[in-house]
Structure 1
């Protein structure tokens, strides 16, 4: 099995090198001045930690009893600590919905959801290797069920993560920063560093088959789609670098070889109850809520 994983990594890097130059030169210096092509997608480049760089979705959100968010991202390999991929806040509760990463040197990227101020467990997700990764997260008020996916395959799920409240309406969805006040008070040491593209939101839970199909076919499920990635649908802070590049979706390459090392080794969903998890769960609620 290590041979399969090594083969996957080798083929993935060969594929990605066709579109992205993996060197010490920043993507910003490589691509500044390029114009948008017909098949290009917008990539937001967060060059280093900052208390400024962010993008705010212009979508007006309704109350959601369930939600799925999928995106493609690349983590800065020289960035460690807590990294906020996105945060959604409402006036009455700042930490309403978040996806956070914990970056530890020499270890895989750990991901965790926060819902209504309740922090779920961090789970090892993808290698911290400067490569593009596909990530999907889902949550339902029904039992507080949540799930995490990488490269089209589920690797962790649980329940008991805020089953009492839906995600509130009229909030602010911000990419790349945690919100300590409604829409602001960003912290540099919890910001995102890397690249993000193709972030989409559904107001329902996508099942594993749907997420697998989207990843394998580089397609979108239209049912329940409430936000589709578009530069026109975001307010992008001026210091954030905007790149127009080919969509980094690897399609059938990932569909055939599949995912990160944990998927290839045959790991199943952890099927753990959030309330019974120990050691890696922060159960501290947001005191501002």
Structure 2
């Protein structure tokens, strides 16, 4: 997917992209991605579910409340005051560490305050979905939580990416590519009307 982006052109309760990983145990997690949308309702950026927890790692935006939630093991951690902008490319990164329980959000390279989440590892067969929010392991999608817009540069690591590398990611400088999900070589499956286009950030 190097140089490519995903286009989700309409709200549905079915269209999504499933990203493939064989990992079944994650103590620490960093997820970064770029997106553009004009949605004013709630929507999901990134949804990771296991059989035990439908929101085992979920990035979810509610513009009406000016908040982004990062959910781990079904526990919602709420972040407010992030500089969310309509119809502009932005980057978002979420980190969580099971050893300390700390969770943090980064928007356009700017950090939130660290907050306390859960201490247990993410374990079990993982289904990772873009474009929808899983209310069950791999399904139960809600059209009112679907993503409409463009997504690219999705990376996932099994450690906490240092602030310097998060800043480099945001500015499109050199950074270590994801060792759980690497956008340049990611395996994926498209269901429904999701289009692959040239990344506008690469033109």
Q: After TM superposition, is the score higher than 0.5?
A: yes
Structure 1 range deviating more: 184-193 or 122-131: 122-131
Match in the other structure for 1:239: 193
Of the candidates 184, 188, 209, which is equivalent to residue 143 of structure 2? 188
Match in the other structure for 1:229: 183
Q: What secondary structure, in the 3-state scheme, does the structure 2 residue paired with 1:121 have? A: strand
User: Within 2, Cα distance between the matches of 1:128 and 1:217?
Assistant: 19
Post-superposition offset of 1:215: 2.8
Post-superposition offset of 1:217: 4.5
The 8 Å contact of residues 69 and 138 in structure 1, kept in 2 or not, is answered as yes
User: Within 2, Cα distance between the matches of 1:82 and 1:92?
Assistant: 24
Answer 1 or 2: which has greater helix percent.
1
Q: Sort the Cα spacing of 1:128 and 1:233 in 2 relative to 1 into closer, same or farther, 3 A.
A: same
For this pair of structures, how many residues does the alignment match? Answer: 203
Answer 1 or 2: which has greater strand percent.
2
Counting only pairs closer than 5 Å after superposition, residues 107-118 of structure 1 correspond to structure 2 as: 110-118=67-75
TM-score by length of 1: 0.65
Of the candidates 80, 86, 96, which is equivalent to residue 56 of structure 2? 96
User: Within 2, Cα distance between the matches of 1:189 and 1:178?
Assistant: 10
Post-superposition offset of 1:231: 7.2
Q: What secondary structure, in the 3-state scheme, does the structure 1 residue paired with 2:123 have? A: coil
Of the candidates 94, 103, 115, which is equivalent to residue 159 of structure 1? 115
Match in the other structure for 1:197: 152
The 8 Å contact of residues 53 and 239 in structure 1, kept in 2 or not, is answered as yes
Post-superposition offset of 1:80: 2.3
Post-superposition offset of 1:129: 2.2
User: Within 1, Cα distance between the matches of 2:190 and 2:162?
Assistant: 31
User: Within 2, Cα distance between the matches of 1:125 and 1:49?
Assistant: 24
User: Within 2, Cα distance between the matches of 1:58 and 1:204?
Assistant: 18
Match in the other structure for 1:137: 94
1:166-188: CA deviations, max 9, x gaps? 11132101111111121011000
The 8 Å contact of residues 8 and 193 in structure 2, kept in 1 or not, is answered as no
- Tell whether 2:178 aligns with 1:216: no
Post-superposition offset of 1:161: 0.7
1:207-250: CA deviations, max 9, x gaps? 2122113333533314x62210147611012311211234359x
Match in the other structure for 2:12: 50
The 8 Å contact of residues 94 and 182 in structure 1, kept in 2 or not, is answered as yes
The 8 Å contact of residues 72 and 132 in structure 1, kept in 2 or not, is answered as yes
User: Within 1, Cα distance between the matches of 2:143 and 2:192?
Assistant: 17
Structure 1: state its 5+ residue gaps.
Answer: 1-35, 250-289
Match in the other structure for 2:127: 172
Q: Structure with the greater relative contact order (CA < 8 A, sep ≥ 6): 1 or 2?
A: 2
CA-based RMSD of the aligned residues comes to 2.2
Q: What secondary structure, in the 3-state scheme, does the structure 2 residue paired with 1:122 have? A: strand
User: Within 2, Cα distance between the matches of 1:112 and 1:46?
Assistant: 21
Moved over 6 A (4+): none
Post-superposition offset of 1:110: 3.0
